[in-house]
A and B are shown apart, each in its own frame.
Chain A
Amino acid sequence: MRRTTRRLMRGLAVLSVLALGATACGGSDDDSSGQKPVSADDIQAALKKGGSVTVWAWEPTLKSVAADFQKKYPKVKINLVGERSGDKHYTALSNAISAKKGVPDVAQVEYFAMSQYALTKGLSDLTPFGADKLKSKYTPGPWNAVSEGKATYGLPMDSGPMALFYNKKVFDKYKIAVPTTWDEYVEAARKLHEADPKVFIAADAGDAGLTTSLLWQAGSRPYKVDGTKVSINFDDAGAKKYTATWQKLIDEKLVAPINGWTDDWYKGLGDGTIATLPSGAWMPANFETGVKNASGDWRAAPMPAWTKGDKASTENGGSALTVPALGKNKELAYAFVEYANSGDGVATRIKEGAFPATTAELQDNAFLNKEFPYFGGQKANEIFAESAANVASDWSYLPFQQYANSIFNDTVGKAYIGDTKLSAGLKSWQDASIKYGKEQGFTVD
């Protein structure tokens, strides 16, 4: 009796080792068969069968979306991993992709980083899943960011037309008008700081995203990308407009040297020492979760203009959900991406303060008339939608923007601590980016 059990166990062990080997082989087979069209029925079948989907995303509204999705498809388990953002997120993602291990099934990728991952074949083309048929649902800007030729590397989750968030309580207290141009912005910064030396117009310790967005709005087009041909040049009229203004803010110490998304930053936004925040329309959801104590203090306004009357706006951030090429359960992953960014998830996310990239919702009266209790009942979406319509065209990011952004503080950051001027900082950022581009095999000039 005993001997037979032992033999049985041994047999089982051998069998399970064989099974492991078989699944390992199965895993590698999946990669090559990625181009076959996947029908809606296949996806439905996968949803019925169930499984788990690991999602790397910091977008706060996805929590409710994941819960709803699991309610609708009880056999599917969504593991939302959301504590990382920014550099750390991309480092982890790039590591997982190059190690071919621990790659998530779904990953949030900001528009500026899309082409880098697409270029290195880190993301699945979602066209075989039918993603290209959803094109007409989205606004053109975000759709351009996720598609390249015939390939579609993700579904836009949100978009980031910029607005100027300002602490109305602070502005009212010192009877200062909300600036409509960047010159007025500098003026307001001086007045605020004079009235209370603890108050700064903004927190900025050097942020690549903000700088590129402001350059974009000022009419600068430093990056030109044509396949693997890239040119980088920060020496244009738009960039000069930006550096002239921002240099004043830095020189006169009118911006608080606080890095975004740190404890100090949240505290400053909450206690009125950071008076404005130029940011993307996805910001309200973060205000509501991160700066609860200042509810009712903040409002949104259109971005200040570089010349009076100019309506040109710009984008900041905005991201898509993508399906990494090495992820498992691609049908389920796609099903979740579609649910969150094109299906029922969109309504859930809007309810929690997200700013969609889908045209229908953007033009919907209910959306435009939505009152934000956090902004004292202001219909902030009207401002964001207006900004979205005025985003200046023809901007492009580098195909290695993620790397360029990682060395922003090494170069432009020096201007923030007085070691150099902004224009010189931009020049050394340009040089370092060109050097990297060449090393990576791009044709750069």
Chain B
Amino acid sequence: MRKLLACLALLIVVAGIFSGCWSRKEMSELAIVLGAGVDRTPDGQVRLTLQLARTGALAGGGEGGGGRGATTWVVSGTGSTILDAQRKLAERISRHINWTHNVVYIFGEEAARHGIRQYTNYYSRSPQPREITWVLVAKGEAKDILETISQLENTSAQDIGYLARAKTGFSINFKDFKVMLATKGSNPIASRVEIVERGVTLGPEKEKSVVHKGAALTGTAVFREEKLVGWLDESETRGLLWLRGEILKGVITLSSPTEPGKEISVEIMRGHTEVEPYYDGESVWFVVKIVVEGDLLEQQSSEDITERDVRKAIEEEMAREVEEKARLALDKAQGEYGVDIFGFGMAFHRKYPREWAELEDRWDEVFAGAYVDFVLESHLRRSGLLGKRGSVRE
């Protein structure tokens, strides 16, 4: 009997202790951040913009119950640090601000130009945000980017996140961005995000159609050390990806070797890049070897690609096209900005660790004056389902 009573008492105590957690927060008490933007105000303050998920609207039964209402709520607050700004925002948000599901960090152009390092610390010191959040730089203000809506995804932050993840241009996560900031002889780069016309949303009648403006990735932001110095556009970004050896997918379009004015498109299937630095005690030069493999998937012209010579000509044309793109990015980085954004410095560091010690502090200068030689190797592996064209009269 006594044992039974003791057990009962123990059960009651245990039930009391284990019924809940010390600082639990229910879903309905959280303001979930999906995108965070940092702008610098003219007086040097931080303006933090948060895109919050309206969880009720996101979870709602969908089309059935009429309009779902807006899926996001965007709030901005100013403070001297990010945490300070967030604290002030908390006075206007009825729930706990929760960073664990954040998808993108967007830095405004002004903030990036003044030096980005001062705005990154909170994101890695606090345990809530993820290290794999995408980092982007807005052309203009970060606030405007977060205030757009997406037609295809639930929220524009997720939309931007999916665009970054698709890796059609250059995109980088927070962890790798920090590694770039911490590495001597490399300069950080991040995707550029900008508001553009993205499509038309159709109304019931044609007149009511709305041209939809949305955020899209339009190239790359280039930093010197920690300060934004300029941009690369989409086609220069292709060159950047070739030079960094990060090409994953894409298309090379080249002019037909036999019929002027007609084009051929090759889908890139595989590619890789090796950068070999050389140093003779005075000057530094690089040999960049790029290998590209692709499938020919569209042909405006009508040459017979089953012939070996024609394929050879196309392969040469592919190589020329890739080199041209790479040169475009290289010239801009060496000439206009004078910064090494391709990791050439790291390649040099790996090969010449001793010589690196003398050069690391003026690496960008050395890089800007370095001669770069390209060696290209291109292969046309397949041609879709057709050999020669089917719609051509013999």
The judgment on whether A and B are partners is no
